[in-house]
Amino acid sequence: MPPPAGRRADRRSVAGRYYAFVSTQTPVTPERVDFIREIVTADVRSGQHQTIVTRFPPEPNGYLHIGHAKSICLNFGIAREFGGRCHLRFDDTNPEKEEQEYIDAIEADVRWLGFDWGEHLYHASDYFDQLYAWAVALIRAGKAYVDDLTADQIREHRGTLTQPGRNSPWRDRSIDESLDLFERMRAGEFPNGARVLRARIDMAAPNINLRDPVLYRIVHAAHPRTGDAWCIYPTYDFAHGQSDAIEGVTHSICTLEFEVHRPLYDWLIENLPVPSRPHQYEFARLNLTYTVLSKRVLLRLVTEGHVRGWDDPRMPTISGLRRRGFPSEGIREFASMIGVAKADSVVEVGQLEFAVRGVLNRTAQRRFAVLDPLRVVIEDYPEGQVEGMSMANNPEDPSAGSRSVPFTRELWIERDDFMEDPPPKFFRLAPGREVRLRGAYFITCREVVKDAAGQVVELRCTYDPATRGGDSPDGRRPKATLHWVSAQHAVPAEVRLYDHLFTRPDPGADGDLFADLNPGSETVLTGCLVEPSLAETAVGETVQFERLGYFSPDPDSTPGHLVFNRTLTLKDTWAKLQARGRQDA
Ligand code: ATP
Ligand code: MG
């Protein structure tokens, strides 16, 4: 969407969108402003906050996925639009599941998405000393106690949505005894699960999160950052809000499942001597059709070998989408398209593809590649001659320049661009028919050569030298234009085609999620032949194979063995559905 005229000076492009800045630094977007940005705007206007501080708080127990990208774009986007800052904070409170590999991958993914936390890299584990001191303060104030019940007993005492909970027999033990036990928990005197520290709030509270929630548990496990310094670790609830307060976070934005935790978040902030007063706001998490966004499930897909790894191009992880060839701009564009709402919904995965296709159509260079080759010999073309045909790299972008594609007497075309006995609506090559070879010449098929099994192995053709470049001086216009590769110059390649990882839009809805895995989600084509310039295409770059789709070199690719991933087909089913919807309406 073009920016409004006349305000060029105060516009900045943010994540592919234009924002006009007014003096209060309130962003005016061409689209609607979401409810979180409305809240932030109001807080800036009322003077409640001078500097807006947000954070993205991943737990390093897996790789980031497209749902996290929504949260990253929201948190970093708001910080950028309001001239504030966004922290990257690792919520590293569960050493049994967390690994350095995940920490490194998360940092790389956030950077690749185009965001920068500057010097504001934090870890919940940075605050373990402070959190411990605050836990002791709560015990001293009679607001926390050490409980000897097991996890099962605690669950059983907690009650249900309709029934109040019951007090633990240890709830009223003395402050001194709790202090002593908590210190000994920390000293490593007890095994995992023997005791926990709980807040003393209200076992009859309608909100179960307020029924004496657990604040600390015993976990004898080495931590990626603090090593063996601790054997008790704070829960998410005890770490999160306090970390926000320590860092001066103004708007702690999270997904809806934390809404019921907000009263506890507020209780802890109000009952501890924290240095600032953050507020939690919740938005709807991203759900996508044909896709599972749960790190637990994604981990199983990896460990059980259903995919090639966390960055398998079929995975909804940021690293998988990157490997598949999705540009980060396309992901940011998608986040901006879907917006931020308060109610849960499921987004069509086609909408993500639509956003990515829009970016690629603008930016991807065009190339020739033949996936299923059929030999063409142009009988009247001089043997040994090589002509460099100048081809625009991107018709959408003249600055992308052009390249020279070698044309020779023997070529490869796509096998399904020929039919010996074509039905009425097939306009491509057939015996006696003339077609255009893109950017080269018109050719006519004169003879079909078959092998002993009757399989077509070669087409003998003639060409019209007057049509060089793809146009005929007499105005003849063939009904089809084919892509081609010079046989002498073609480079062999492996091409991997992808389909949805799951067969149904709501994987697992019938119970077994893994039964819904799509056995045809990956197809490996070998013996593909591509134009020579594709040997130079770098990993991380996505090109359009003309007429076939968008493709990107896989990191498995080597100079002697090129491997390309199909990023997307050219077909845009989502846009078609939208158009049909409009017609019906
Ligand atoms: P998962 O549910 O996939 O296991 P998680 O919520 O446990 O993810 P965290 O590392 O805790 O993963 O998430 C970091 C941040 O990303 C949180 O603020 C969380 O709310 C947000 N987030 C996670 N999943 C989504 C999603 N599908 N859509 C939007 N935000 C999400
Ligand atoms: Mg979480």
356-368: pLDDT as tens digits:
999 999 999 999 9
Distance 293 CA to ligand 1 centre (A): 9
Q: What's the pLDDT band for 574 if we cut at 50, 70, 90?
A: low
What are the DSSP calls for 424-489, one per residue?
A: TT--SB-TT-EEEETTS-EEEEEEEEE-TTS-EEEEEEEEEGGGTTS--TT----S-EE--EETTT
Ligand in closest contact with the CA of 256 = 1
The predicted pLDDT at position 571 comes to: 84
Q: What's the pLDDT band for 18 if we cut at 50, 70, 90?
A: very low
d(Cα 275, Cα 263) in Å, to the nearest integer? 19
- SS3 (DSSP) at 65: strand
The residue whose C-alpha atom lies closest to atom 18 belonging to ligand 1 is 254
pTM of the model: 0.91
Encoding tokens for residue 480?
């089809």
285 is catalytic: yes
Ligand in closest contact with the CA of 74 = 1
Q: What's the pLDDT band for 1 if we cut at 50, 70, 90?
A: very low
Check 285, 300, 308, 403 and give the catalytic one.
285
Check 89, 198, 295, 409 and give the catalytic one.
295
Using one digit for the tens of pLDDT, what is the confidence trace for 291-327? 999 999 999 999 999 999 999 999 999 999 999 999 9
Using one digit for the tens of pLDDT, what is the confidence trace for 445-471? 999 999 999 999 999 999 999 999 999
Distance 333 CA to ligand 2 centre (A): 24
d(Cα 290, Cα 566) in Å, to the nearest integer? 18
Our CA angle for 33, 37, 116, nearest 5°, is 115
Distance 372 CA to ligand 2 centre (A): 45
Q: Which atom of ligand 1 is nearest to the CA of 253?
A: 18
Query: Which of 54, 70, 71, 236 to mutate to test ligand 1, by most ligand atoms within 8 A of the CB atom?
Result: 71
- The set of protein residues with a Cβ atom below 6 angstroms from ligand 1 is 57-59, 67-68, 70-71, 91, 254-255, 285-286, 293-296
The predicted pLDDT at position 577 comes to: 67
The residue whose C-alpha atom lies closest to atom 23 belonging to ligand 1 is 68
Contact 348, 391 (CB under 8 A): no
The residue whose C-alpha atom lies closest to atom 13 belonging to ligand 1 is 58
The predicted pLDDT at position 367 comes to: 98
d(Cα 361, Cα 544) in Å, to the nearest integer? 8
Q: Which atom of ligand 1 is nearest to the CA of 294?
A: 3
The predicted pLDDT at position 582 comes to: 59
Q: Which atom of ligand 1 is nearest to the CA of 298?
A: 3
The predicted pLDDT at position 124 comes to: 98
Is pLDDT at 237 greater than 50 in this prediction? yes
Rg (CA), the chain: 30
Residue that has been written with the tokens 């993914």 in this structure: 109
Which residues are CB-neighbours of 44 under 8 A, at least 6 positions away? 24, 25, 26, 52, 82
The predicted pLDDT at position 392 comes to: 96
User: Which residues make beta-bridge pairs with 351?
Assistant: none
Using one digit for the tens of pLDDT, what is the confidence trace for 140-166? 999 999 999 999 999 999 999 999 999
Check 59, 107, 387, 522 and give the catalytic one.
59
The residue whose C-alpha atom lies closest to atom 2 belonging to ligand 1 is 294
Using one digit for the tens of pLDDT, what is the confidence trace for 380-398? 999 999 999 999 999 989 9
Q: What's the pLDDT band for 241 if we cut at 50, 70, 90?
A: very high
Is pLDDT at 80 greater than 80 in this prediction? yes
Query: Sign of dihedral through CA atoms 64, 65, 68, 70?
Result: positive
Cβ-in-10-Å burial (0-12, 13-18, 19+) of 236 comes to middle
The residue whose C-alpha atom lies closest to atom 21 belonging to ligand 1 is 68
Using one digit for the tens of pLDDT, what is the confidence trace for 501-558? 999 999 999 989 999 999 999 999 999 999 999 999 999 999 999 999 999 999 999 9
Distance 59 CA to ligand 2 centre (A): 6
Q: Which atom of ligand 1 is nearest to the CA of 258?
A: 20
Q: What's the pLDDT band for 49 if we cut at 50, 70, 90?
A: very high
Using one digit for the tens of pLDDT, what is the confidence trace for 174-231? 999 999 999 999 999 999 999 999 999 999 999 999 999 999 999 999 999 999 999 9
Which residues are CB-neighbours of 530 under 8 A, at least 6 positions away? 367, 368, 369, 370, 485, 490, 491, 492, 493, 545, 562, 564
Q: Which atom of ligand 1 is nearest to the CA of 286?
A: 28
Q: Which atom of ligand 1 is nearest to the CA of 296?
A: 4
The predicted pLDDT at position 16 comes to: 35
Encoding tokens for residue 416?
């399904």
Distance 306 CA to ligand 2 centre (A): 24
295 is catalytic: yes
The predicted pLDDT at position 572 comes to: 72
Mean pLDDT of 126-145: 98
Using one digit for the tens of pLDDT, what is the confidence trace for 422-434? 999 999 999 999 9
Q: Which of 154, 148, 164, 86 is nearest to 121 (CA)?
A: 86
Query: Which of 55, 56, 63, 68 to mutate to test ligand 1, by most ligand atoms within 8 A of the CB atom?
Result: 68
The residue whose C-alpha atom lies closest to atom 10 belonging to ligand 1 is 58
Contact 484, 530 (CB under 8 A): no
Q: What is the 3-state secondary structure (H, E, C) of 289-351?
A: CCCCCCHHHHHHHHHCCCCCCCCCCCCCEHHHHHHHCCCHHHHHHHHHHHCCCCCCCCECHHH
The predicted pLDDT at position 82 comes to: 96
Average pLDDT, the chain: 93
CB atoms < 10 A from the CB of 338, how many?
A: 19
546 is catalytic: no
Distance 137 CA to ligand 2 centre (A): 27
Contact 56, 87 (CB under 8 A): yes
d(Cα 25, Cα 365) in Å, to the nearest integer? 38
